[in-house]
Structure 1
Amino acid sequence: MNFRIILLLIIIITIFNGCLIFSDINKNEEDLFKSGKNYYYSSINFDLDKTKTCVAINKINQFIREYPNSCNVKEAYRLLNDLLKKIEDKNYNIADSYFLMGRYQVSLIYFKNLIKNFPDGFFKEQILYKICLSQYKLSKKKDFFRSYEEYMKYFSHLSNAKKLKFLYKKLKNI
């Protein structure tokens, strides 16, 4: 009889300890997700400070790595995409500001970094177009031809392609 009671106690303790362990795991998962989400919501205005956005990205990435089968992973990816879009927007606006000021060399650096960091980003067409224009303005003939080919590979059907084709022909005749 004592043996049965001891065995029953061991089983009960094992079951309850297991539940406590699983509840801690779920709590850690929930805490990490909530932490990332809180940083996401506190980084609404990326123009003011990028620190919270970077922390949010790190927290959400950590959550996705540690809990890939969580029911919150889909939302985590959505939040992560929104944060990355904010960074892309800000960097594009910086590059475009330099471009509009006529500081083509600096804008070229920013635009090239944008293409490197966001190869399929939202602004890809505008970036490739402005890279071509910057190189044209800087009289970088070989670089212009290379960038022109890159642009045409993806966007030959757009109106900016006609403008670039005109510049291309103009440089070919020089």
Structure 2
Amino acid sequence: MIIRTAISMLMAATLIAGCSPLAKIEKSGDYQKKLAYANELYARKKYTQAHDLYESLLTVYKGTTQFENLYYRYAYSTYYMKDYIQAAFHFKNFVDYFPNSPHAAEMAFMQAYCFYKLSPQVELDQSNTEKAIGQMQQFIDTYPESDKVEEANKIIDACRAKLEEKEYRAAMLYYNLGYYQAAAITFNNVLLDYPTSPRSDEYKYLVIKSEYMYALNSVPSKQEERFNQVITDYLDFMQYYANSKYAREAATYYHLAQQNLKSLSHE
């Protein structure tokens, strides 16, 4: 009895589904009706259903005057489904298909924006973050008059800040593990990569600190050279960051390096 009831319910559900407006439209050979219903679903934010209908109509309408608007909504329905890889592909295709469209700049921006949406947390691989920067810069270069340029620049800044933070964390990891030479090199690279960063004084200070620890833990025959490097970088720090909040701490390592050099000269 239970089995027969379950089968009856399944058959009823299948019958209802088969009689649904979407099922009828999907079976219909009336392409205009299909397109109109897809647009209705899109307007109602039923993006998955609209996407499937649009996809079934791509080859039908390709080359017609209606294809541009169809593909525009198809690309966006993919984006709203959060399939950002495919959405980026379709936004790019739109620009390739319709380079003179009034939507071309918007689509180019959205292609770049998809890579921004794919940009992961700082500790993960940042390939998509780098792609977002490249694509946003290309968008700015291609459409400098677009009203999206300001937003694109903000996204580039946000992506660069994420890459900067990843490099900083890598340098700190080296330092915390006691790999002081690697830490000094990596902090210096962060400074070279982001010279206008508001944290540039911190990076230079951490170069000095890492170099001091590297010198302190070196074999005696290498210490003079390495303590002198601490002094050189401290003097460079004071030339650019004399008013930094890290100036006093940097001076501590400068004086310690001098004291160690004096001790070495007396040995």
| TM-score strictly above 0.5 | yes
Provide Cα deviations, 1:26-58, integer angstroms capped at 9, x if missing partner: 322111101111211221424223121111111
Residues 106-117 of structure 1 mapped to structure 2, 5 A cutoff: 106-117=182-193
Q: Does 1:72 align with 2:72?
A: no
Which of the numbers 112, 130, 141 marks the counterpart of 2:227? 141
Give the C-alpha shift of residue 95 in structure 1: 0.4
| Contact 1:105/1:134, CA 8 A, preserved across alignment | yes
Residue aligning to 1:18: none
- The structure-2 alpha-carbon separation of the partners of 1:25 and 1:149, relative to structure 1 and needing over 3 Å to count, comes to farther
Residues 19-168 of structure 1 mapped to structure 2, 5 A cutoff: 24-139=100-215, 140-168=226-254
Higher relative contact order (CA 8 A, sep 6+): 1
| Contact 2:136/2:152, CA 8 A, preserved across alignment | yes
What count of residue pairs does the alignment treat as equivalent?
153
- The structure-2 alpha-carbon separation of the partners of 1:23 and 1:113, relative to structure 1 and needing over 3 Å to count, comes to closer
Tell me the distance in 2 between the aligned counterparts of 1:134 and 1:23.
52
Q: Which structure has the larger Rg?
A: 2
Question: Any idea what SS the aligned residue of 2:103 has?
Answer: helix
Tell me the distance in 2 between the aligned counterparts of 1:33 and 1:104.
42
| Contact 1:92/1:123, CA 8 A, preserved across alignment | no
Tell me the distance in 2 between the aligned counterparts of 1:89 and 1:26.
38
Give the C-alpha shift of residue 136 in structure 1: 1.2
Give the C-alpha shift of residue 65 in structure 1: 0.9
Question: Any idea what SS the aligned residue of 2:246 has?
Answer: helix
Deviates more, 1:76-85 or 1:162-171: 162-171
Give the C-alpha shift of residue 164 in structure 1: 2.4
Deviates more, 1:163-172 or 1:127-136: 163-172
- The structure-2 alpha-carbon separation of the partners of 1:25 and 1:142, relative to structure 1 and needing over 3 Å to count, comes to farther
Tell me the distance in 1 between the aligned counterparts of 2:122 and 2:108.
22
Give the C-alpha shift of residue 70 in structure 1: 1.1
Give the C-alpha shift of residue 100 in structure 1: 1.5
- Normalising by structure 1, report the TM-score: 0.79
Residue aligning to 1:171: 257
Question: Any idea what SS the aligned residue of 1:24 has?
Answer: coil
Taking every aligned residue pair, what percent have the same amino acid on both sides?
A: 26
Give the C-alpha shift of residue 159 in structure 1: 4.6
Residue aligning to 2:62: none
| Contact 2:122/2:165, CA 8 A, preserved across alignment | no
Tell me the distance in 2 between the aligned counterparts of 1:144 and 1:26.
58
Question: Any idea what SS the aligned residue of 2:146 has?
Answer: coil
Deviates more, 1:49-58 or 1:60-69: 49-58
Give the C-alpha shift of residue 157 in structure 1: 3.3
Provide Cα deviations, 1:47-80, integer angstroms capped at 9, x if missing partner: 2231211111111010011111111100000000
Give the C-alpha shift of residue 25 in structure 1: 4.3
Tell me the distance in 1 between the aligned counterparts of 2:103 and 2:173.
45
Q: Structure 2 stretches of 5 or more lacking a match?
A: 1-97, 216-225, 263-267
